[in-house]
Structure 1
Amino acid sequence: MRPENEPGGQKSRSFIEEARRAQIVASAVEVIAEVGFTHASLARIAKHAGISKGVISYHFGSKDELMEEVVARVYGSIGESVTRRMEGLRTATEMVRTHLQTVAEHMRGHRTQLIALGEIFYNLRTADNKPRYGINASEEIFRAMEEVYRLGQESGEFREFDRRVMAITHSSAIDAMFAYWVANPDHDLDAHVRELTDFIERACRQ
């Protein structure tokens, strides 16, 4: 039997169920990174996880639902790392630099996740065949960075500029950095993020 619903319609899950879902997501990441989105069937993911396909179907209603969970968990993990590092920072300059550096540090140890995300973003579609994760899927990130840039402008650290444009540029630069690193594993990610951090700080300064 599936777990009973909690208030608000969310299913309550036991520790064992959460562990199983995490196991399935981890296997999905590995399989997608190895064979690509198209060939990453639920049966193949189940075999990698050492479980039956029915176990995956118990926890996830479809492959699309599993893919969305992969994205949510990867981004949730990145968010936790960034939040921990940014706690207590007082200046917008520190926040901008720490955000860029922490995201790079976190993903350096999770290259397989980056490959899987790229496959999902490129291939996962909505019912009307539009990308499930188009540019507007980053709205929450854009808004968060706009707030950081607003703080910098109000404190006098940063010059006046269009905060939405800067937030999009900031986010897009991170995406491009990782895309290049995934395609070119020998690329110096540390040097790249140092240059990028200095570049964005200079672009913001008075």
Structure 2
Amino acid sequence: MTSAAARGRAVRERLLAAAVELIPERGWTAVSTRVLADRAGVTPSVVHYHFPTLQALLREAVIGMMRQVMTDVDTLLDTARTPVRAVEALLASVDQYTGADPVSLLFVEAYLAAGRDEELRGLINGVIDGFRKRFGQWLHDRGVLAAEETAAVVLACVDGLLLHRGLGSSPDIQSVIAAVCRLVTSGGRS
């Protein structure tokens, strides 16, 4: 890779990182080209050199972070030996998020923006659908009935818990884990 190409790639990465920082800090609609460029240490014209629009940059930044989080969740599945252990690990992973932390806020802002941005909605759905299918197949391979539907319910539970945390409501996670584990044990193997 030439040094110019390497510098260009580094600038793109700084812009994406700046977006991931600014969206939770300011909110999706308050991130401007000027503010983003300033955070990344570049001129505003550089933003549009690397991305067709500010919205395209914001989409790429948030989808990149969502994929990173899903990769971390995939790692949980790699270490879980049973459906019960997988559910326990997924739901326990919620503890690392307060609901007011930058990743939680980034996801909430992205979900809100997706309500008005069809392209973003499609990209987020792609990330969620991909993981739900992988998790559903994982559950199916371990004998869980209605595996993909069960995967959807478990993932919705994780999202719901994160949203509730942002509102200051945190049900006892052990009680939630026990309730959700029943979904993967009725008719399947634990």
Give the shorter-chain TM-score range. 0.7 to 0.9
Aligned with 2:91: secondary structure? helix
Q: In structure 2, do the counterparts of structure 1 residues 143 and 130 end up closer, same or farther at CA, with 3 Å as the change threshold?
A: same
**Cα RMSD (Å) of the superposition?**
3.0
Q: 2:52 aligns with which of 55, 58, 61?
A: 61
1:196 matched to 2:180: no
Provide closer, same or farther for how the CA distance between residues 89 and 115 of structure 1 changes in structure 2, counting only shifts above 3 A.
Answer: closer
Deviation track 1:85-140 (CA, whole Å, cap 9, x = no partner) reads 433443233233223333x25545982122122222212467xx647326844211
Looking at both structures, which has the greater relative contact order when contacts are Cα pairs under 8 Å and sequence separation is at least 6? Answer: 2
- Residue 130 of structure 2 aligns with which residue? 140
Question: Displacement of 1:146 after TM fit?
Answer: 1.0
- Do 2:80 and 2:89's aligned partners in 1 also have CA atoms closer than 8 Å? no
**Structure 1 residues 152 and 200: CA distance shift in structure 2, 3 A:** farther
* Structure 1 Cα separation of the partners of residues 99 and 163 of structure 2: 15
Confirm or deny: 8 A CA contact 1:46 1:53 kept in the other structure: yes
2:83 is aligned, of 88, 92, 106, to 92
Other-structure match for 1:10: none
AA matched with 1:175:
D
2:158 corresponds in structure 1 to 174
Q: TM-score, normalised by structure 2?
A: 0.77
Unmatched 5+ stretches in structure 1: 5-12
- SS in structure 2 at match of 1:200: helix
Q: Do the aligned residues in 2 keep the contact of 1:31 with 1:40 (CA within 8 Å)?
A: yes
1:42 aligns with 2:37: no
TM-score computed with the length of structure 1 as normaliser: 0.72
Structure 1 segments of 4 or more deviating over 6 A? none
Equivalences for residues 16-55 of structure 1 within 5 A? 16-55=7-46
- 8 Å contact 2:98–2:166 — kept in the other structure? no
CA contact (8 A) 1:81 1:106 kept: no
Q: Report the Cα offset of residue 59 of structure 1.
A: 2.2
Contact 1:93 1:152 in 2 (8 A): no
- Deviation, 1:203, is 2.3
* Secondary structure, aligned partner of 1:71: helix
SS at match of 1:61: coil
Q: Deviations over 1:13-41 (max 9, x none)?
A: 63x44443332222213322222222211
Identify the residue that residue 65 of structure 2 maps to in structure 1.
74
Gaps of 5+ in 2: none
SS of the residue 2:31 aligns to: coil
The aligned residue for residue 120 of structure 1 is 110
Task: Determine the structure 2 residue equivalent to 1:150.
Answer: 140
Q: How many residues align?
A: 182
Higher mean C-alpha deviation, range 49-58 or range 132-141: 132-141
Q: Is the 8 A contact 2:28 2:113 kept in 1?
A: yes
Letter paired with 1:144: R
2:99 and 2:162 in contact (8 A); partners too: no
Distance 2:12 2:99 in 1: 21
